[in-house]
Amino acid sequence: MFAVVESGGKQYKVEKNDVITVEKVAAEVGAKIDLKVLMISDGKEVTAAAGSVTAEVLRQGKAKKVIVYKYKAKKNERRRHGHRQPYTMLKITSVEA
């Protein structure tokens, strides 16, 4: 059984015991959260938006730093900027139709 859920404006195909990384969710580590279900399938039948998916927050963190470097030729203009995107790691505990 699998489900397609939405979190942070992105869609994820999940099954029970999957570990996924999503955009930051405001929840404490160890908390249980419910995800918005878009579709659920038991292998034979596909149902739209009828079911529930529960996940446990494993970790809150930041991704590796991405360096953004802007440069304009002949203008002596240079700019270096770094960005670390926050994320939440979730473990899917149940997928129910």
**pLDDT, tens digit (0-9, with 9 covering 90-100), for 11-42:** 999 999 999 999 999 999 999 999 999 999 98
pLDDT digits (tens, 9 = 90+) for 38-60: 999 988 899 998 889 999 999 99
Q: Rounded CA gap, 51 and 4, in Å?
A: 10
Residue 79 has pLDDT above 90, yes or no: yes
Residue among 87, 89, 95 at smallest CA distance from 30: 89
- The domain total for the chain is 1
Q: What predicted TM-score, i.e. pTM, was given to this entire model?
A: 0.83
Please state the φ and ψ torsions of residue 43, each to the nearest 5 degrees.
105, -30
Write out the residue range of the structural domain in which residue 71 sits.
2-96
User: How far, in Å, are 3, 67, 86, 97 from residue 71 at the CA level?
Assistant: 45, 13, 27, 53
